[in-house]
Amino acid sequence: MKKKIAYLAILAVLSSSMVGAAVSAKSDNAGSEDKQSKAVVESTANSGNGNSDKDDKAGKGNSSVTDSTYGPGQEAQGYKGLLNAIENVKDKPAGAVLADLLLTRYDFALTDAMKTELQAIQEKDAALSAAADLLDKKGNVNEAVYVQKEAVKANVKNLDSYKKLGKLLDKVDKTGVKLYVNGEEPKFEVPPFIRDGSTLVPFRAISEALKADVSWNPEERSVTVTRGDITVKLFIDSKTAYVNGQEITLEVPAAIVEGSTVVPVRFVSEALKAAVEWEAETQFVVIYEQQ
């Protein structure tokens, strides 16, 4: 509770200073401007569309960011689906990703008020990192770690956030290779480690973090992970692996360490269509879903 109070108090101060430029763009009657912004979105969505009523009804359903929303041929209208989607995730890690997408690809379709709001969402991780820096300078390292973890969650693709978190963790003696999946640290019995230039991580921990199913075959001494239409199979102490039946040669084989199966993190993550980043200075492995 004390950590949360400290975080909220400092965030309130820093948010006002760091995002001041964005906030000052809004007038004192922010409520009326908010209504005006929504009115602009609605009028833009309805313009040039004779079936506006049908579109409105469709827009009130469950929104998702798919290729049909902003894929080829949808550039002029794709931002509508994103605007609907971001309303549901603006306070979640995906919010910063969608805000960035809207600002970079659909700048032409956004009003100034909408841009201001999106920039605030986009910069949330920066404000949180600044709060963590301040706590660290005041000697509150544990609180700084807590806040920096929130910064990581706010934008799971920001490698600098992980680097800052890694340095803070080193200060509290949590050294060695670190692993986060979608902004969260998985629970594992064996910590990640480097062998022959490759990072090995507990297979079950990373697979479950990516919501994949894992099975073990004691006779073959093999592990199989299934996610959607992708099946990955590895054999203990063998450099041969299979992805949907296609043979792949690994640089480092899977192994059993202290009763847990460990596998090359980059191979497994990319095979499951997840992005993998490596922050060398703090030895941070970053895995996140590719949007």
Is pTM beyond 0.75? Reply is: no
Say how many CA atoms lie within 13 Å of 182 toward its Cβ: 16
Q: Which residue has the higher pLDDT, 219 or 117?
A: 219
Put the strands of the sheet holding 255-257 in their side by side order: 193-195, 198-202, 260-264, 255-257
Instruction: Report pLDDT for 58.
Output: 38
Instruction: Report pLDDT for 177.
Output: 92
CA distance 91 to 151: 12
pLDDT at 64 over 70: no
Instruction: Report pLDDT for 52.
Output: 38
Instruction: Report pLDDT for 178.
Output: 94
Residues in the chain: 291
Domain map (residue ranges) of the chain: 20-122, 176-291
**Hey, how many other C-beta atoms are within 10 angstroms of the C-beta on 231?**
16
Q: Provide the percentage of residues in the chain whose pLDDT is more than 90.
A: 34
Q: Which residue has the higher pLDDT, 176 or 76?
A: 176
Superfamily of domain 176-291: Copper amine oxidase-like, N-terminal domain (3.30.457.10)
Instruction: Report pLDDT for 118.
Output: 74
pLDDT at 120 over 90: no
**Hey, how many other C-beta atoms are within 10 angstroms of the C-beta on 28?**
7
Instruction: Report pLDDT for 181.
Output: 93
Helix (H) or strand (E) holding 201: strand 198-202
Among the ranges 35-44, 95-104, 214-223, which has the highest mean pLDDT value?
Answer: 214-223
Q: Provide the percentage of residues in the chain whose pLDDT is more than 70.
A: 65
Which pLDDT tens digit goes with each residue over 212-263? 998 899 999 999 999 999 999 999 999 999 999 999 999 899 999 988 889 9
Instruction: Report pLDDT for 7.
Output: 43
Q: Which residue has the higher pLDDT, 230 or 126?
A: 230
Mean pLDDT score, 106-116: 80
Which pLDDT tens digit goes with each residue over 127-174? 788 888 988 999 999 999 998 998 999 889 999 999 999 999 999 999
SS (H, E, C) 82-115: HHHHHHHHCCCCHHHHHHHHHHHHCHHHCCHHHH
Instruction: Report pLDDT for 54.
Output: 40
